[in-house]
């Protein structure tokens, strides 16, 4: 990462984790996470949870090292982190205030501060405002109470209904923008990541696929998308006849963009066949292409 | 509130008060462990829990204190003190400690396993061993209160009725070993209760494991002692028959250290006394080691 950028909140060098039994969860992962909301994406088993647990110091890497907020992973770092495990962890028989206060104390807050911040955190997440928010936002309150500088969220929308999902994503975005807390969101749901993240770190099989800003992932590509109301086959044949390597995808024709004259060729073809053209635009990359290209499978 | 998905968040809703971070000093690990210990200590008496969580601790406490009250009252009317400070009411103490342990040790450890809140602890500035240490200290303190408070009631009730200073001193001299025995009970039984309760997150199972282990071993030892001629027998068999249950082991240690062999649960261990002491220490070490090992493993999940 160039030196002009703000310092990374997480840096890893050659992070490798082998589990007993020969499972390689991480394989020489070297990556920086910029401040802001960063999506950590990858298929199930790509190593997302393992990376988070190493950052928290819950497990040790087999090789390599990691720094969080400029500090070696360990106890000191943990007091500055908020973490939400991917599963529920809510004791049913304790009041939210009592439990969140207790966790604040375990984060090293003095008693009175812990009480204040517990009340505020629960208010921030809107607990009791809406019933559907209860489960999801309750655990969010737990993360906020320790006054963290970085939140690690492992599949935060797991087990939430669509409304809860929306509320959770909105809350994450708010925490990231208004509260000024950096967030790493591990998820395999690319649509959610695209909605809320500034940066994206994609891992696959424990290795770094790509790390960049979300906008660079969705930059315009050198492909034209052409749609017509009817006569898709005839248009495809005509374009191919004029020497363009055209492919079809569902109801769209994809034409590699050679230069401005590609537009002209497409226009001429459509005109020659008198077809009703309804869309002609430069295509944007989608985050999921990353994985599609990697595996050679179109799983759209 | 589906509108909030589309409208900007700063719509004047009640929770929109801005987030306050905290830049002040963080408490150290020692104080964090203390906070966890205090929290666990409170919950071992059901404080911070619902009414249901308080029933067993309160009943146990009342049952344990009742004989002390009655006897203290009787002493005030001129009757002698019936219960020794070192043994108190042996069968009652065994029963109440078993029930308390079976109910409250799972309260401290099983529910955290059950609710999977351990990652929330271990992602904070605690070390692996801190969690079981705090739980152990809390349960030891709770048992200590349960066992020692009746002794203190008995003591206060008795000295309130005696006339001379030397009689007060006699009572105090008798009380101190009694408090020591209580401490031994708390230290050992807390370790046994926690290690057994932490085996499973199923509350009912861990209660069962604790209760059955305590009761069965106790019955086994009692039967063996009876088979060897009872608590007054002098045979080797009778002397070592108490080694099969924590309660009788502790009573053996008490007699070995000079306690009255006429009262209590076991036959006088005689020259096997050190064996009782050793067994108690080994048992304690094994339970604490097992507890530490349990949480080394569990924290990875």
User: Would you say B44 and B193 are in contact if contact means Cβ atoms under 8 Å apart?
Assistant: no
Summarize the confidence of residues B56-66 as an average pLDDT: 95
- Give the tens place of pLDDT for each residue, A140-157: 555 666 678 888 888 888
Strand, helix or coil at B266?
A: coil
Total number of domains constituting chain B: 1
Q: What are the structure tokens assigned to B243, written together?
A: 């080694």
d(CA B40, nearest CA chain A) in Å: 10
Q: Does a structural domain hold residue B9?
A: no
Picking from B2, B115, B300, the nearest residue to A58 by CB comes out as: B300
**Choices 3.30.70.980, 3.30.390.50, 3.40.50.150, 1.10.357.10: CATH for A220-284:** 3.30.70.980
Q: Show me where the domains of chain A are located.
A: 10-217, 220-284
Q: Where are the alpha helices (DSSP H) in A155-259?
A: 162-177, 190-196, 214-217, 232-241
| Min distance B193 CA to chain A CA atoms (Å) | 21
Res B290: pLDDT: 94
Highest mean pLDDT out of A31-35, A159-163, B30-34, B213-217: B213-217
Question: DSSP assignment, residue A3?
Answer: T
Mean pLDDT across the stretch A199-222?
Answer: 82
The tokens 């080691």 sit on which residue? Answer: B289
Q: How many CB atoms lie within 10 A of CB B148?
A: 21
Cβ of A58 within 8 Å of Cβ of B35? The answer is no
Q: Is B202 exposed, middle or buried (0-12, 13-18, 19+ CB in 10 A)?
A: middle
pLDDT at B6: 42
In a domain, B41, yes or no: yes
pLDDT at residue B191, rounded to an integer: 97
Q: What is the mean pLDDT of residues B97-115?
A: 91
Fold of A10-217: Rossmann fold (3.40.50)
Look at residue B3 and tell me if it is in a domain.
Answer: no
Nearest to A109 among B22, B119, B121 (CB): B22
Residue B17 inside a domain? The answer is no
Label residue B9 by pLDDT band (50, 70, 90). Answer: very low
Could you tell me the CA-to-CA distances from B8 to A41, A46, A173, B12 in Å, in that order? 26, 34, 11, 10
Closest partner residue to B29 (CB to CB) among A75, A111, A146 is A75
Q: What is the pLDDT of residue B301?
A: 43
Highest mean pLDDT (candidates A100-114, A119-133, B8-22):
A100-114
CB < 8 Å to A170, chain B:
4-5, 9
Decide if B145 is inside a domain.
yes
pLDDT, residue A264, reads 86
Instruction: Report the distance separating Cα A33 and Cα A40, nearest Å.
Output: 9
What would the pLDDT profile of A42-66 be if each residue is shown by its tens digit? Answer: 877 788 888 888 888 888 888 888 8
> How does DSSP assign B185-240, residue by residue?
HHHHHHHHHHHHHTT-S-HHHHHHHHHHHHHHHHHHHHHHHHHTT-TT--SHHHHH
The whole-number pLDDT of residue A47 equals 84
**Average pLDDT value for chain A:** 79
Cβ-based contacts of B2 with chain A (< 8 Å):
163, 166
| Tokens matching residue A54 | 């190493």
What is the domain range of residue B126? 28-298
Residue A119 has pLDDT above 60, yes or no: yes
Identify whether B87 is part of a domain: yes
Q: Looking at per-residue confidence, does B27 or B172 come out higher? A: B172
Please give the pLDDT value at position B138.
97
Please count the residues of chain B. Answer: 301
């Amino acid at each position: 990462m160039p030196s002009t950028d703000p310092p990374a909140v997480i840096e890893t060098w050659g992070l490798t984790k082998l589990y007993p039994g020969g499972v390689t969860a991480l394989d020489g992962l070297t990556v920086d996470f910029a401040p802001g909301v960063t999506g950590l994406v990858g298929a199930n088993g790509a190593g997302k949870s393992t990376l988070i647990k190493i950052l928290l110091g819950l497990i040790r890497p087999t090789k390599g090292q990691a720094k969080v907020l400029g500090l070696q992973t360990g106890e000191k770092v943990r007091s500055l982190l908020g973490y939400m495990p991917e599963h529920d962890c809510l004791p049913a028989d304790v009041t939210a205030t009592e439990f969140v206060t207790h966790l604040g104390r375990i984060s090293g807050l003095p008693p009175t501060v812990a009480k204040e911040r517990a009340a505020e955190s629960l208010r921030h997440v809107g607990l009791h405002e809406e019933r559907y928010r209860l489960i999801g936002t309750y655990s969010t309150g737990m993360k906020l109470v320790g006054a963290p500088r970085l939140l690690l969220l492992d599949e935060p929308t797991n087990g939430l209904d669509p409304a809860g999902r929306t509320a959770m994503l909105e809350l994450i975005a708010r925490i990231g923008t208004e509260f000024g807390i950096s967030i790493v969101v591990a998820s395999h749901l690319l649509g959610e990541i695209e909605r809320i993240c500034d940066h994206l770190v994609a891992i696959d099989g424990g290795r770094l696929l790509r790390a960049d800003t979300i906008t660079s992932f969705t930059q315009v590509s050198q492909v034209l998308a052409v749609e017509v109301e009817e006569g898709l086959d005839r248009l495809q044949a005509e374009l191919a006849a004029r020497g363009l390597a055209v492919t079809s995808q569902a109801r769209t024709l994809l034409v590699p963009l050679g230069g401005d004259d590609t537009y002209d060729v497409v226009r001429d073809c459509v005109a020659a066949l008198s077809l009703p053209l309804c869309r002609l635009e430069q295509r944007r990359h989608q985050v999921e292409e990353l994985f599609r290209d990697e595996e050679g499978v179109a799983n759209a | 509130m589906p509108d909030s998905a589309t409208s900007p968040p700063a719509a004047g809703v009640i929770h929109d008060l801005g987030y306050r971070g905290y830049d002040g000093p963080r408490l150290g690990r020692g104080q964090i462990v203390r906070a966890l210990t205090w929290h666990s200590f409170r919950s071992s008496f059901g404080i911070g829990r619902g009414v249901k969580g308080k029933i067993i601790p309160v009943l146990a406490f009342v049952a344990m204190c009742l004989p002390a009250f009655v006897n203290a009252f009787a002493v005030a009317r001129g009757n002698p003190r019936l219960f020794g400070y070192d043994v108190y009411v042996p069968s009652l103490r065994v029963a109440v400690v078993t029930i308390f342990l079976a109910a409250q040790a799972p309260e401290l450890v099983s529910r955290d396993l059950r609710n999977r809140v351990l990652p929330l602890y271990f992602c904070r500035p605690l070390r692996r061993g801190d969690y079981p240490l705090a739980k152990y200290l809390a349960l030891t303190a709770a048992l200590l209160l349960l066992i020692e408070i009746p002794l203190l009631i008995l003591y206060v009730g008795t000295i309130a009725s005696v006339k001379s200073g030397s009689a007060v001193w006699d009572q105090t001299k008798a009380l101190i070993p009694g408090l020591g025995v209580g401490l031994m009970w708390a230290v050992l039984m807390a370790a046994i209760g926690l290690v057994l309760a932490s085996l499973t997150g199923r509350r009912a199972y861990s209660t069962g494991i604790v209760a059955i282990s305590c009761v069965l071993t106790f019955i086994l030892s009692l039967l063996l002692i009876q088979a060897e001629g009872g608590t007054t027998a002098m045979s080797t068999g009778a002397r070592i028959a108490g080694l099969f249950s924590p309660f009788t082991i502790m009573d053996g240690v008490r007699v070995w250290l000079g306690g009255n062999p006429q009262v209590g649960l076991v036959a006088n261990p005689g020259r096997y006394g050190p064996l009782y002491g050793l067994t108690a220490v080994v048992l304690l070490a094994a339970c604490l080691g097992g507890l530490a090992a349990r949480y080394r493993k569990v924290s990875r999940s």
